[in-house]
Each structure stands twice: as structure tokens, then as C-alpha cells.
Amino acid sequence: MLFWKDVLQTVSIPIPKDSSLLFALQSMEEQKVDLLFVCDELGEIVGYVDKESVLKQLQQQEHLDHRIAYRVDIVKVPEQGEISFYHNISVVLGVNEQGMITGYSTTKDTKNRLDRFQLQQFNEDLKAVYSSASEQITVVDQHGTIIRVAGLFLKGFWQEEKAEQLIGKNLYDMEKERQFSPNVAELCLTQKKRVSLIQESKSGRKVWSVATPVFHGDKIEKVVILSEDITGIHELRAELELARKESNEYKKELDQLLTQNKGDRRKLIFRSHVMERLVDECKHIAKVDSTVLLSGESGVGKEVFARAIHEYSHRRNEPFIRVNCGAIPETLMESELFGYEKGAFTGADQRGKPGLFELAHKGSIFLDEVTELPYNMQVKLLRVLQEREIMRVGGTRTISVDVRVIAATNQNIHELVRKQLFREDLYYRLNVIPIQIPPLRQRVLDIIPLTVHFLQVYNRMYKLDKTLTKEAFHVLEGYHWPGNVRELQNLIERLVVTTRGEYIGARVVLAQLYGERQQSIDNMPIIREIMPLKEAVEKVEEQLISLALQKYGTAAKAAEILGVSPATLSRRMHKLLF
């Protein structure tokens, strides 16, 4: 903010209001000024003349001793006051608290000073943004030479202690020396368009880089590269194997509900500390055969955790059998889990059939949605867990099974036990090692790594090359993800398949995330009656958030306009929309 005292100049010695043109010119020359103030008989300033107006008067008058004409579009302002402009006023006189004149400024000079100040402030703000950015900003010229580095310095990637050590180095030379690959700037300069990819340094650090060309006319003047460290993401460059369906005599319609693929080696992708600790815990407990109970909201990735525990264990080369307890009809549940002997019931295979526990022998069995088991089946499962043996339907002998049991639920199992909807003794048998998987909204750092992973998967699957803009990533980070990782995966596939252009922007993502709720948002009630103040404030917040998102397109911009932080806006959006 600028005040009048910041722009005031020294007032020249005023001349009498009846001075001649010659005297005015001589005074300007002596005082070396372009503006003179004019005073009355008491010495009070009543107007001013500038060199331009004096010269015009000289052109119109024949004699230099002609009386000067002065201008009176002048006003006094407090020097401590904030700068503001007045209609039809060209010159201001600053006065102190005692009413004494302390300086002057023209409207033109004031505006120039204000523009320079605002530009300086903008530059300072920009520097602050760069210095606090969570990404590294690298600027290279058209020859690949680094001319600027700002934001977060990725010294682990560059193997340099300070950003200044990179200035003047050439990315082409560094790539030849195998300091990193590939060269995102080279691809940007060659293709003359924005390029995004994953770069890896010789030290093993991985960064997600987006290079954007800056044109001067039709030629690229420089390239701006935004880079973020994603080293903690697992399997960023590994291909996701498509599920291979086993073709054997037991593969029937119900078996399609079960994931029995040894080749589906999906690994956990994470960057957050909470997930890092959770994965370390899974690696530790995988060494023993104790029963594990995974709990968490739908879509958080319980099956992926179950597979990871199996892969980290000594049973990794044996079967991993997934059973969706909520998808198998109750009448077929026992025969599917424990198998049946030939002739056990009408329509049974005459050769009999081994159950899923038998198929999981020496390996692991994953009981997904275990709380959906019928109450009578819970008793039989408890016996299997205690005795480690099963009996086929229609059979007379027991069959020993050596399996690692991993169960999962998205329900409050304690409440089900209290309501006697789930057996307490089975709960304690399953809950030997409990693992709570946090929802995606509580591990925001994992959103971008997962997005990048799914983007690569579906680009390969559909032979496309779609890229999300930085603003689109910000929208994803600000979303609450009620459907967790599964919702994110489905969204990325939908965006890859349905968007027409190469780049997927923030508006497209916003439309996909909030479009389905737009009708309810549009029908928000207008307050026309007395209601609790808290409720009224919530309704106004709802309308303002909706309008801001529609108008500005991104959560970050909407938060800025509404005067709140992006995190606060995200919490408000979740509260209002879900």
C-alpha cells in the first residue's frame, strides 16, 4: 500500500499570480523544474503552470510580458493518507497534521509510481511463491542451457548442493553424461508443445516433469519445466499385468467372482508417511501366518493390501484365492467354500468339486466382505480357523488345509457384534492382527502418484497419450474422494476415454467430479424465513462455493476469491456435497 508521503516531490518556489510569461520561463530555468506553483498576495498557493502550458501561451501571445494564465485543478491531501484519485484534478498538494504543505505530485506521476510499486510488489510476491513452491521450477533457453532455478530444489535428483550450481549448465550435456534421462526439454523443443513425463537420475531419483514452451513469434524462446519428486511411488514404470483367467474344470460362472490369478502382481503405490508405515507393518506381519483383519472404507484398496501381504510372505509362490462373501448366494456358500462330494445334491458335478479353502492350500485365502457371511456359515468358518480342516458337503471325512486367512470388511464390526449380527468368537479369531487402512482423503500425498499410475495404465491400455494439466491435479487433490482409490481409478479411465483433446484440464475434471451433484446445487433454497444462524451461514457458504467453482473453474482460484485456504474450501465442499 502506498501513501501520499511516498510520492510527494519538493514544492518549487511559487511565483505571483500576476507574473509574466517571461518571468515564469526564467523561474523554471533557474529552479530547473517543469512545474511552478502560483500564489496570491498572502503567499497562498492558488494554482500552477507547467512548461507545456507556458509554451502554448507563448504561441498564442505576441509579447513575453503578457500575464500568465494558470490552472486551478489542484487539491490538498493529507500526506499520511492512502493514495486515491480525484475527478478533474491533475495536481495534489500534500499537507501534514499542522496543515503545512510538504510536497506535491501530479496525477500522471502518481499513477506511474503506483504502477511501478504494484509491479515491484508482484515481483516480490512471485519470488515468494517460487521460493515456497513444492515443485522445482527450471527455465532453460532454446539451446537447453539452464538460466533460472526456483522453488523447491531437487538436489537429490541433480546431485548438487545448491540451485545456483546448475545455472549455465546444459541439459543436453548432462543427459550425455547420463546424469538423468530422458531430456524433457529436448522433447519440448522438438515437438514444440507441452510435454510431461517421468525422469530418472543416475542416483535413482524419479521426478514428474512438465515442460512448457515459451514462444517469441513462431520461435521457442525458452522452456519452463515444473518438476516434482515422485521417487516414493512404486512401480511407476512397471506395466500393470492384465488379469489372466485360469481355464480349468472348476472355472464356472461363480468362479468369475473370484480373483485367483497368480499373475496379477499389483503393488501398493504411495507417497504419504501414513502409508509408508502401514506398508512396513504389512511386510513385518507377512513373515508369520497369523490371521489378519483389514478394515477401511469401500475402495481404499483392501484387496491390494491382502495381495501385498501374500506377496511379502513365504507363501508368495502358492495360490492367492479371493472370495467375495457378499457375492455368493447363501445356498451355495458352503459348497463353494468347502467343496462337495459327488452326488451330494441334485445338479452337483458327478466328480465332486474341491472348495476354495482346498484350492488355497499352502497359500492364502482372502475373505472380502467377511461380515456378509450368513450367521450359520460363521460357525463353520470358525471351526476351520480353529481346527485347520474342512469337510466337503456330503462328505464323511475331514481334509486338512494349510492356509493363511486374510479377512476384510468396510463395516463397523464391533457394532455388528454388539447387535449379534456377527459372532463374537469368530471376530476374535479373525482380529488377531487388525489393520486399519485410511481413506484417500487422509493421505492426500498419494493422490498424484496414484493418478500418474492410472494415467499410464489407461494410456497403454487404450493406446493414447493423455496428460492432466497442473490445475487438474490441484482439483484432484482438493476433492474429498468418498469412493477412495476405486473412485479415482474409475475417474481417470473415464477421463482418458471420453476427453477429446490431448490435455485434460481442470474444468473437465470439475465437471466429472461435481457434475452429477449440479442439479441439487442449482436447486439450493434461498433464505426467506427465520432459521438458526448457523444453518443460514451454511446455506450461504454452499451458494458461494458453487458460484465460485462455476465461474473460476479451479478450487484454488475459488479459494483465493472467497478468501479462504484451499484446505478450508476442500473441507467446506465435502461438508456441503456429501
Distance, in Å, from the CA atom of 287 to the CA atom of 310, rounded to the nearest integer, reads 10
Cis peptide bond prior to 182, omega within 30° of 0? yes
User: Which residue has 524419479 as its cell numbers?
Assistant: 206
Distance, in Å, from the CA atom of 94 to the CA atom of 84, rounded to the nearest integer, reads 13
* Cβ neighbour number for residue 222 with a 10 Å cutoff: 19
The full DSSP string for 374-411 is: -HHHHHHHHHHHHHSEE--BT--S-EE---EEEEEESS
Question: Which residues have C-beta within 8 Å of that of residue 38, sequence separation ≥ 6?
Answer: 14, 15, 16, 17, 19, 45, 46, 47, 48, 49, 68, 70
Task: Give buried/exposed letters for 126-139 (b at 16+ CB in 10 A, else e).
Answer: eeeebeeeebbbbb
- Asked if residues 246 and 154 have their Cβ atoms less than 8 Å apart, the reply is no
Amino acid 198: pLDDT: 82
- Asked if residues 148 and 130 have their Cβ atoms less than 8 Å apart, the reply is no
Distance, in Å, from the CA atom of 338 to the CA atom of 380, rounded to the nearest integer, reads 10
Distance, in Å, from the CA atom of 289 to the CA atom of 201, rounded to the nearest integer, reads 39
Distance, in Å, from the CA atom of 311 to the CA atom of 263, rounded to the nearest integer, reads 11
Task: Tell me whether strands 467-468 and 433-436 are parallel, antiparallel or unpaired.
Answer: unpaired
Among 224, 233, 237, 203, which Cα is nearest to 136's?
224
In the chain, what are the domains? 4-114 (3.10.580.10), 133-229 (3.30.450.20), 254-438 (3.40.50.300), 449-577 (1.10.8.60)
Q: Is 220 helix (H, G, I), strand (E, B) or coil?
A: strand
Rounded (10°) CA dihedral 64, 68, 71, 77:
110
Chain-centroid distance of CA 275 in Å reads: 18
- Asked if residues 38 and 17 have their Cβ atoms less than 8 Å apart, the reply is yes
Beta strands in 334-480 (DSSP E): 339-340, 353-354, 364-368, 389-390, 399-400, 404-409, 433-436, 467-468
Q: Is 293 helix (H, G, I), strand (E, B) or coil?
A: strand
Q: Which residues of the chain have pLDDT under 50?
A: 132, 233-265, 516-526, 528, 578
List C-alpha distances in Å: 350 to 43, 112, 328, 329, 344: 122, 95, 22, 21, 9
Distance, in Å, from the CA atom of 133 to the CA atom of 228, rounded to the nearest integer, reads 10
Question: Which residues have C-beta within 8 Å of that of residue 20, sequence separation ≥ 6?
Answer: 64, 65, 66, 67, 68
347: phi then psi, degrees, rounded to nearest 5: 90, 0
pTM above 0.75, yes or no: no
Distance, in Å, from the CA atom of 7 to the CA atom of 5, rounded to the nearest integer, reads 6
Amino acid 243: pLDDT: 30
Which amino acid is present at 401? V
Among 244, 296, 257, which Cα is nearest to 275's?
296
Amino acid 574: pLDDT: 61
Distance, in Å, from the CA atom of 245 to the CA atom of 239, rounded to the nearest integer, reads 18
Residue 385 cell numbers, joined: 480357523
Amino acid 51: pLDDT: 86
Category of 339 on φ-ψ map: left (φ > 0), alpha (ψ -120 to 50) or beta: left
Residue 270 cell numbers, joined: 504411495
Strand (E) or helix (H) holding 542: helix 533-552
The full DSSP string for 77-146 is: EETTSBP---TT--EEEEE-TTS-EEEEEEHHHHHHHHHHHHHHHHHHHHHHHHHH-SSEEEEEETTSBE
Dihedral sign for Cα atoms in the order 475, 479, 485, 486: negative
Amino acid 575: pLDDT: 62
159: phi then psi, degrees, rounded to nearest 5: 60, 35
Q: Would you give the end-to-end CA distance of the chain in angstroms?
A: 41
Amino acid 530: pLDDT: 64
Mind listing the pLDDT tens digit for each residue in 31-73?
Answer: 888 899 999 988 899 999 998 888 888 888 777 888 889 999 9
